[in-house]
Structure formats: C-alpha cells, structure tokens
Amino acid sequence: MKRRNLLATAAMGLLLASGGAFAQGMDKVKACFVYVGPIGDGGWTFQHHQGALAVQEAYGDKVEIQWQENVPEGADAERVLTQMALGGCNIIFTTSFGYMDATNAIAAKFPDVKFEHATGYKREHPNVSTYNARFYEGRAVQGHIAGKMTKTNKIGYIASFPIPEVIMGINSYYLHAKKANPNVELSIVWAFTWFDPAKEADAAKALIDQGVDVIASHTDSTAPLAEAAKTNGAVIGFGQASDMAIPEYMPTPRVSSIIDNWAPYYVKRVGELMDGTYAQVDSWAGIKEGEVEIGMITDAVPEEVKAEAEAMRDAIAAGTYHPFTGPINKQDGSPWLAEGATAPDGDLLGMNFYVEGIVGDIPQ
C-alpha cells in the first residue's frame, strides 16, 4: 500500500474482503497491541502484555510482536492504529473499550489487517472481531467467599465508573454473597477513577472504618489490599485483574483473586491466522476457556468454604451453573429473570440496574 492511493486501495480492499479473503494461512505473523496504560500498572495493561508475551512464547520466531503503551483514546488511537497497519501488522489487538470507534474506522481502511477489539460491541467490518471476558463469573465466586467470610455482615465494593461491566460485577458479587449469607449488606464506593492508588486506599479505609470486613475492588491497584493488610487479618480482600499474590499479603488479606488471562485467546487467534482458520468472532469467554481465572484460595478461608467456592468455579466452567440464574428481581422489585431462567448476554452487556437488595443509586 503506497502513498496517495491509500483510500482507493482501501475501497478496493473492502470489495475483496467481503469475498472472504480470510481463508489463507500465513508463515509469519506480526501481532500488534495497543495499550491504554503503562505495562507497569500491575493490573489491566500488565495482563494484556502478559498475553502478548505468551504469543511470542508460543510461536517463537514465527511471530513478531509490537506494542504501544499509554495510547489515549480518540485521534491518537487512530494514528497509532494506522501506523501499525501501515507498518505491516497483520493483526492488531486494541485493549480498551475506548478504542471501539477508532478500531472500526481504521479497519475500514485496511481490510487485509485483522482487528481485535477488547470489551466492545461494534463489528462494522468483516475484519473486526471483539473479545471480552466474563469477569462476573469470577465475581460470583468472590461473592460466595465474601458472604461466608464476613463477620460483621458488611461487605464492600470499590467501583470505578458506572458502566455495565462494573455494574454486572457488583450484581454478581452481591447475589452470591446474599445467597451465602442472607444478612449481608453491600456498601459501594464510586471512586470515579480506574487508577489512583491513594484514593483507592482512602476508599478502602472508609469502608473499613464503617465496619466492612470484606472488600472487592474494580479499580486497578493493590492499594485496597494494602489498606486491608493494616488491620492484621480482620479485613480481607481480593486481587483484581492480576493475581496480586504478594507473599506478604497471603494468606490474608488477599484470600483469592480474579485474573484476566488473555493469553489463551491471543495465542489462539494468532494461531488461527497462521493456519488459515481465522474468522470474525464475537468472543465472550470466561472461566471455562481459562480467560477468567480464580487465583489460589488461601488457608485463611475455611476448608469447606474453599471447597464450595471451587465447586462453584467448576460448575461455571462446566456450564452447569450460570451466575445470573432466576428468580432475580431488579432493585425496584420488578422481575428480571424468572425461576430457572439465565440472563441473556444482551441484558448483561447493557446492564444499567442493580438487583434487588442493593441499597443506593447508580450514579447517572
């Protein structure tokens, strides 16, 4: 693709692509990754980069990987994507929701390049796939542990922004805590940030000061765990995004964790590109596919609770249990899921309500 005929080529390519140009394999693949934060964030971006390294590991010199950290959403993302596509990337993973429109816009211009967008829903072109992980499955297991472990019957959740992803996690966490312990009350703190360790620590402290003794968080740093660690075992929490298995935080306060493991998906997709079986997908994988992992449950959790939590994990993996199984009412008491019904993915992806029993309003 050279110079001025970029757009003309793109238009021609669109025609070709619709004819199924996906079906031939490749000897060598250049896989590229766009990150929203620094690799050293210890959470979200770190885990995506682990996935990228796993691709390198799996295919050795048959792949070349490239990445770009700290890419702001919008115009900057479009530029980075264009540069990567021009620079010969065969497949580009865009690892933040905010890249959705940029990914689709650039995909239109480079029909021969495969684009993979994390956590979004737009696939406007045949060369755009989307992938996400069912984090709510992990939240269910955490909720169960929380319900069983709390002594004060007060559990807490440090939330980032009021988006479906986060609300889904809160609901799943609460439902399973409630199931394990009907007296449980959930306090939610909205931090309005993905990453601000000092503020996250303050939020954890506020929860602890008001009697909460189990804290889950949907922000990225280990600060809430560190705050819980100051209570000498009275308060427990969970690793978020990465395992956070810091030896000093085990067996408490880190009793378990949700790990975003993108490696299986990345390795699979790059592999498919090589052997010619690559096709557009909308992937939403969870515990079953290994994309969501439950980090080791420590000895601080009684043997039987641990066994129950692991049984739940295995049931979810086997497909015999869905964390959102009716009857479930919405917060206002109106029915959502009937007895035995499981939540359709569409409901989950656009979730904008709390389930019955949660106190407070979602910031609107």
Give the footprint of another protein on residues 233-262 (CB under 8 A). 244, 246-249
Q: Which stretch in 11-19, 97-105, 304-312, 327-335 sits in contact with another protein by CB under 8 A?
A: 97-105
Angstrom distances, CA of residue 7 to CA of 2, 98, 106: 10, 25, 11
How many residues make contact with another protein (CB under 8 A)?
85
- Of 70, 299, 302, 327, which lies in the binding site for another protein, with binding defined by CB under 8 A? 70
Work out whether 46 is an interface residue with another protein (CB under 8 A). yes
Question: Would you say 102 or 337 has its CB closer to another protein?
Answer: 102
Q: In DSSP terms, which residues pair with 26 in a beta bridge?
A: none
Question: Would you say 320 or 364 has its CB closer to another protein?
Answer: 364
The answer to whether 226 and 219 have CB atoms below 8 angstroms apart is no
User: Per-residue contact track with another protein, 148 to 177, x per CB under 8 A?
Assistant: --------x----xxxx-------------
**Structure tokens belonging to residue 330:** 């919405």
In the complex, what is the shortest distance from the CB of residue 57 to another protein, in angstroms, rounded to a whole number?
16
Work out whether 314 is an interface residue with another protein (CB under 8 A). no
In the complex, what is the shortest distance from the CB of residue 339 to another protein, in angstroms, rounded to a whole number?
25
Work out whether 190 is an interface residue with another protein (CB under 8 A). yes
Tell me the angle at which helices 164-180 and 135-149 cross, rounded to the nearest 10 degrees.
Answer: 30
Q: Which stretch in 129-137, 141-149, 192-200, 269-277 sits in contact with another protein by CB under 8 A?
A: 192-200
- Of 26, 152, 199, 326, which lies in the binding site for another protein, with binding defined by CB under 8 A? 199
**Structure tokens belonging to residue 105:** 């816009």
Q: In DSSP terms, which residues pair with 241 in a beta bridge?
A: 259
| Backbone φ, ψ for residue 347 (5° rounding) | -60, -40
For the beta carbon of residue 232, count every other beta carbon within 10 angstroms.
Answer: 9
- Of 18, 183, 277, 352, which lies in the binding site for another protein, with binding defined by CB under 8 A? 352
The answer to whether 35 and 68 have CB atoms below 8 angstroms apart is yes
The answer to whether 119 and 136 have CB atoms below 8 angstroms apart is no
d(CA 324, CA 240): 21
With tokens 């990337």, the residue in question is 89
d(CA 225, CA 207): 12
Work out whether 364 is an interface residue with another protein (CB under 8 A). yes
Angstrom distances, CA of residue 44 to CA of 41, 328, 332: 7, 31, 33
**Structure tokens belonging to residue 77:** 């993302």
With tokens 């309005």, the residue in question is 192
Q: Which stretch in 29-37, 132-140, 265-273, 336-344 sits in contact with another protein by CB under 8 A?
A: 29-37
Handedness of CA 243, 96, 288, 318 (dihedral sign): positive
Work out whether 112 is an interface residue with another protein (CB under 8 A). no
Q: Which stretch in 17-25, 72-80, 311-319, 321-329 sits in contact with another protein by CB under 8 A?
A: 72-80
Work out whether 98 is an interface residue with another protein (CB under 8 A). yes
- Of 62, 205, 288, 322, which lies in the binding site for another protein, with binding defined by CB under 8 A? 205
- Of 17, 29, 155, 201, which lies in the binding site for another protein, with binding defined by CB under 8 A? 201
Task: State the amino acid at position 233 in one-letter form.
Answer: G
Work out whether 344 is an interface residue with another protein (CB under 8 A). no
Work out whether 79 is an interface residue with another protein (CB under 8 A). yes
For residues 119-138, which are near another protein according to CB under 8 A? 120-121
